[in-house]
Amino acid sequence: MVDPRRHSVRALLALWCLVGLCLAGLALPASAAPFDRAAVAADLCGDGAAQVRGAETLVQAAAELPAADLAFAGSLLAALAERRLACPAEGALLLDRPGAPEGRDAVTGVPRASADARVPVLGLRQRAAIETARGIVALLTGPDVAARAASLAALERRIATVPAAVLDRARDAERDPALRASIAGLAQAAALSSPDPARRRGAIAAVAANPSGAAQARLAALKSDPAYATDPAFRTALDAGLAQVSRAVAIGDGLAVVYNGLSFASILFMVAAGLAIIFGLMGVINLAQGEFIMLGAYTTYGVQEAFRRLAPGLLDLYLFAAIPVAFIAVALVGIVVEALILRHLYRRPLMSLLATWAVSLFLVNVVRVAVGTQNLQFVMPAYVSGGVPLYADFVMTWNRLFAIGFAAATLALTLLILRRTPLGLDIRAVTQNRDMAACLGLPTRRVDRLAFGLGSGLAGLAGVALCPIYSVNPGMGSGFIVDSFMVVVLGGVGSLAGTLVAALGVGGANVLIEPISGAVAAKVIVLVGIILFLQRRPEGLFAARRRR
C-alpha cells in the first residue's frame, strides 16, 4: 500500500522545480537579435536620421558581431563614405567606382544595374557617425597593425561614442604589445569620463597601476571635475591614485637620469682614456682628440657603406666590423701626426697645444670638403634600435646600453694592454720616469708614438659608440674635448681609474643639472666645481705614481 504522504511530497517537489524553472527563464536575458544586414543597408540608404540610426546600430552591436558581419558592415560603410553606395528601390548596391552603371547587391552579392539609383550624400552629423562606425570596424578587423593603429587614432577623437565592450574586444584580440597598450589606455580614458561612479573609481585604480607622465596628466585633469568636490569616495580614490602615479613617475625620471648619465659618462671615458694616456705620458695637450672621435664615426659610416654594397645581407653587423677598423684607422692617423709634428715639439707645451689645434682645424675642413657638412644617415641595426620600458616613463634604450657595454669592454681591454703586455709595461715605465727608462734602454720615442696611437684609437672607438646616439657631422667632436680634459684633470693625470671615476662624476653632473639650468650653465657649474676641488687637491682624485 502506497503512503499518500509520499505522493504529496513528490508533488510538492515537482511544483517547486516547475516554479524554479519558470523563474530562471524569466531571469535569463533574451538572446540577442540576429544581425539584419538588409535592415542596416536600408538604414544607410535612408535619410539623415536613418543613416545615423544604422551607424549607431553597428556601433552598439560591433562587440558581438562575427567577423563576416563586421566585414559586411565595413564594405557597406566604406561604399557610403566614398559615394559608391547606390540606393534603387530594390535594395542597396555596392559599386566598384562612383557612377558605375552596374553594381552588386549589398546583401546577396547578385549583380544588378544601377540606372536611376540614388547615391546618398552625407551631412556633417551623418559623416561623424559613419566615421565612428568605420573606425570601430577597422579596429576590430584591420589587416595589419598600421591600419588598426590609424583607426584607433581616429576613434580617440570620438571616444565618448565608443562602447567599452568594443575596446575590450579589440584589446583582447590584439597581438601587437604596443597597440594593445594603446587600446587599454584609451579604454581607461573612456572609463574615467563614465557616468558610473564605481566604474570611474575602477578606472582611476587601473590608470594608477600603469604609471606614466600621461597617466599623471590624465588623473590631474580630473581634479577640476565636479565629482571631486561633491563625491568623497571619488576624491579619496583620485588623491590616492595621483599620489601613487606621481611617486612612480619621480622614480622613473630618476632612473632615466642615472641611465642617461651613465651612457654619457661611457662616451666621456673612452675619449678621456686616450687623453689620459697621451697627456700622462708625453705632457701633450691634444686638442685634436675630438676630431679623432669624428674620424672614428666617419670610418664607421664607410664600413656601413661597404657592407651595403658588398654584403647587404650582413648589414646589421657593420657596427661590430667597424670596431677594429675604426681603432686601427684612427690610431694610424695619430701615429702619423706624432711622427710628423709632435715629436719635434716635446717639452714645449704651448707649441704642441697650438699644433694639435691646427691639426683639428685641418681634419675638420678636410672632411667638410671631401664629404660635406650634412649629418650622416646610419642604418640602425635591431640591437641598437628601440628599447624596453622598465618603470613608469623610464625606457632602457638599446643604443645607450650598447655604449655602456662598449665602454666597459674598452676599459677591460685597455687595462689588459697596460698591465699585461710589453707595450703597457713600457708606457707605465716611461710615465713614471722618462729619463730613467731611457737610461735603461727603453726606446722612449717609439713608446711615445705607440702610446699616441693607442690614445687616438680609443677616441676612434668613442666615435663608433656615438654613431647610434648622436648626430655625426664634421663638428661633432668639439663638444667633447672640454669635458674630456676636465675628466682627465679631475681624475688625475695618467690614472685610468681616476679617469673612470671622474667620467662618471662629470657625466652624471651634466645630465643632472642640464634639465634645471640648461646645457651651457651645466658645463659652467661643473667647471666651477672642478676648479674649487682642484684648489684643495691639485693632483686630482688619483694621482699617478711617479719616480724621481
Per-residue pLDDT of 480-531, as tens digits, reads 888 888 888 888 776 778 888 888 888 888 888 877 777 777 778 888 888 8
- Please state whether beta strands 85-86 and 394-397 pair in parallel, antiparallel, or not at all (unpaired): unpaired
pLDDT at residue 543, rounded to an integer: 63
Checking if the pLDDT of 137 tops 70, the result is yes
- Report helix angle 232-282 to 422-432, nearest 10: 80
pLDDT per position as a tens digit, 220-263: 888 888 888 888 888 899 999 999 999 999 999 889 888 988 88
The percentage of the chain sitting over the pLDDT mark of 70, rounded to a whole number, equals 92
248 within 8 A of 392, measured Cβ to Cβ: yes
Retrieve residue 392's grid coordinates.
Answer: 613608469
* pLDDT (0 to 100) of residue 243: 92
pLDDT exceeds 70 at position 15? no
% of residues, the chain, pLDDT over 90: 14
Predicted confidence (pLDDT) per residue in 41-59, tens digit: 888 888 888 888 888 888 8
Q: Quote the DSSP letter at residue 33.
A: P
Residue holding cell 701615429? 335
pLDDT band at 106 (very low <50, low <70, confident <90, very high): confident
pLDDT at 305: 92
Report the DSSP pairing between strands 102-105 and 111-113: antiparallel
Amino acid in position 450: L
Rounded to 5°, angle at Cα 161 from 208 and 121? 150
Amino acid 368: pLDDT: 92
- Give the CA distances from residue 363 to residues 215, 456, 466, in Å, rounded to whole numbers and listed in that order: 49, 14, 18
**DSSP states along 288-353:** THHHHHHHHHHHHHHHHHHHHHH-GGGGGGHHHHHHHHHHHHHHHHHHHHHHHTGGGSTT-HHHHH
Cβ pair 73, 137 in contact under 8 A: yes
The residues, ordered by sequence, that sit 6+ positions from 540 with a Cβ below 8 Å of its Cβ are: 489, 490, 491, 492, 493, 495, 498, 502, 534
547 has a pLDDT exceeding 60: no
- Whether 405 and 412 have beta carbons less than 8 Å apart is answered as no
Q: Which residues contact 247 (CB under 8 A, 6 or more apart)?
A: none
Do 444 and 434 contact (CB within 8 A), yes or no?
Answer: yes
pLDDT recorded at residue 302: 93
Per-residue pLDDT, averaged over 119-139, amounts to 85
Q: What is the mean pLDDT of the chain?
A: 82
Cβ atoms within 10 Å, residue 118: 12
Which grid coordinates are listed for 124? 556633417
- pLDDT(328) > 90: yes
- 174-179: average pLDDT: 85
Q: Residue 184 in contact with residue 203, Cβ under 8 Å? A: no
Which residues make Cβ contacts (< 8 Å) with residue 122, sequence separation at least 6?
51, 80, 81, 130
pLDDT at 13 over 80: no
Q: Is 55 exposed, middle or buried (0-12, 13-18, 19+ CB in 10 A)?
A: buried
Residue predicted with more confidence, 293 or 11: 293
Query: Which range among 30-44, 125-139, 332-346 shows the weakest confidence by mean pLDDT?
Result: 30-44
Q: What is the pLDDT of residue 34?
A: 65
* Calpha distance 465→319 (Å, rounded): 9
Residues 6+ apart with CB under 8 A from 18: none
- HEC string of 436-499 equals HHHHCCCCHHHHHHHHHHHHHHHHHHHHHHHCCCCCCCCCCCHHHHHHHHHHHHHHCCCCHHHH
What pLDDT does 295 receive?
Answer: 93
- Residues 55-92 have pLDDT tens digits of 888 888 888 888 888 888 888 888 888 888 888 877 78
Q: What is the pLDDT of residue 452?
A: 87
Question: What's the confidence (pLDDT) of residue 476?
Answer: 87
